[in-house]
Amino acid sequence: MPETTRYIDLPAMRRLIDKVGVVEAIRGIRDNLREDFGRWHDFEKSPRTANHSDVGVIELMPVSDDEHFSFKYVNGHPKNIEEGLMTVMAFGALSETKTGWPLLLSEMTILTALRTAATSVLAAELVARKDCKTMAMIGNGAQSEFQVLGFHHLLGIEEIHIFDTDPKATDKLMRNLGKQINLIPHSSTASAVKGVDIITTCTADKKLAVIVEDAMVETGMHINAIGGDCPGKTELDGKILQRSKVFVEFAPQSRVEGEIQHQAADFPVTELWEVIADERNGRESQEQITVFDSVGFGLEDFSGLRYVYQQAIELGIGEDLDLMPVIGDVKDLFGFMQPVPARNR
Ligand code: NAD
């Protein structure tokens, strides 16, 4: 019976990732994702709940199987950067399903970037052409390095063309990874995406943006669209979807939040698990355009939290919290409170 809750705060997560390495963490989470998406029907799933305001959204993302339950609290506030705060920040927990005991309470801002990169890599492994060597990275903010590292090391992408409307973001990406990976800065999306094998869009603006126009998309491309993840927040010209094969995480959530939110309610999509389980085809030809319309789904956080919990225990990282009561007489919570220890008065 567990008696404590492992707590991974930001410094502990940094220590953990420092020990494991960013690429190995993305690889480990990608492996968990493949396993968890591969047993899709074991999970109780629901679209996340989202509380919207004019400037952003705060979301809760639960999922469970017979052994574990997880949830993530995550926000999306593009204008936060003007206040010196990040657009996306998160924390979450992993619990035992049979008792409800929280095994892990963790920061998830870093973990979200890792699991999003791992999911993008998994989707591209499943449906992009096998001979992809080049990518465009549109939006060079907080998620971008994780995407670039994942695609370079796990998919063999050799050349990455980068663009952001904020040149400082592109300079930051160059500074962080430009010495180890072949990054080529551009002054427009049109120039960055020209002739590449994969386009990753990872921009943040709470509006119906058209970051990638139909005319920019060539046959055989794979589009990894991450930034359109909320009602009223998209990145792709709808015409692209009409001539592509579209893959999603969990259709009931993606139809509300994803690029497909403006398509008909029965617009054909394939869920990633169906490709993993061999129930439906992935890419059907070298010429086909594939789109991963990613919004971020609770099962990805489950896979990520499962990874962090295992690593934290194995590496002895984090602190054990007395978060839940373990008391002699489980009906005497009042008695457990008396007397209050002197140091807490
Ligand atoms: P961020 O604010 O750190 O970076 C976003 C970048 O996009 C900024 O540098 C901004 O200048 C740039 N940008 C905005 N409009 C642009 C345009 N028209 N062309 C080019 N660049 C543009 O945000 P982040 O944490 O990197 O997140 C990026 C997006 O990804 C957000 O919309 C977020 O909600 C989404 N996200 C999705 C998932 C998922 O699972 N699908 C996970 C995490 C984040």
Nearest-CA residue for ligand 1 atom 33 is 227
pLDDT of 342 above 70: no
The span from the CA of 236 to the CA of 214, in Å, is: 8
Which residues have a Cβ under 8 Å from the Cβ of 58 and sit 6 or more positions away? Answer: 50, 51, 73, 74, 75
pLDDT digits (tens, 9 = 90+) for 184-213: 999 999 999 999 999 999 998 767 789 999
pLDDT tens digits, one per residue of 208-267: 789 999 999 999 999 999 999 888 889 999 999 999 999 999 999 999 999 999 999 999
SS3 content of the chain, % helix, strand, coil (to 5): 40, 25, 35
Test site for ligand 1: of 226, 293, 301, most ligand atoms within 8 A of the Cβ: 226
Known catalytic residues are 229
Distance 212 CA to ligand 1 centre (A): 14
Mean pLDDT of 332-343: 82
What is the structure's pLDDT at 345?
55
Look at residue 205 in the predicted model and tell me its pLDDT: 78
All structural domains of the chain: 5-110+299-326 (3.30.1780.10), 129-297 (3.40.50.720)
Give mean pLDDT, residues 138-145: 97
Atom number in ligand 1 closest to CA 230:
34
Q: Tens of pLDDT along 15-70? A: 999 999 999 999 999 999 999 999 999 999 999 999 999 999 999 999 999 999 99
Atom of ligand 1 nearest to the CA of 295: 41
Is a pLDDT exceeding 70 seen at residue 331? Answer: yes
* Ligand 1-lining residues (CB < 6 angstroms): 76, 78, 81, 87-88, 112, 116, 138-143, 163-166, 169, 189, 202-205, 209, 211, 226-227, 229, 294-296
Which long-range contacts link 316-319 to residues 24+ away (Cβ below 8 Å)?
317/8, 317/12, 317/15, 317/16, 317/19, 318/6, 318/7, 318/8, 318/9, 318/12, 318/16, 319/6, 319/7, 319/9, 319/12
pLDDT tens readout for residues 96-131: 999 999 999 999 999 999 999 999 999 999 999 999
Helices (H), 194-332: 238-242, 251-257, 272-276, 298-315
Mean pLDDT on 304-329: 97
DSSP class of residue 89 equals -
- The type of residue at 276 is I
Task: State how far the Cα of 107 lies from the Cα of 89, in Å rounded to an integer.
Answer: 9
pLDDT at 21: 98
DSSP label of 341: P
Tokens of 119: 């999911």
Provide the pLDDT confidence category of residue 146 given band limits of 50, 70 and 90.
Answer: very high
H or E stretch covering 102: strand 102-107
| pLDDT per position as a tens digit, 165-185 | 999 999 999 999 999 999 999
Residue 341 has pLDDT above 70, yes or no: no
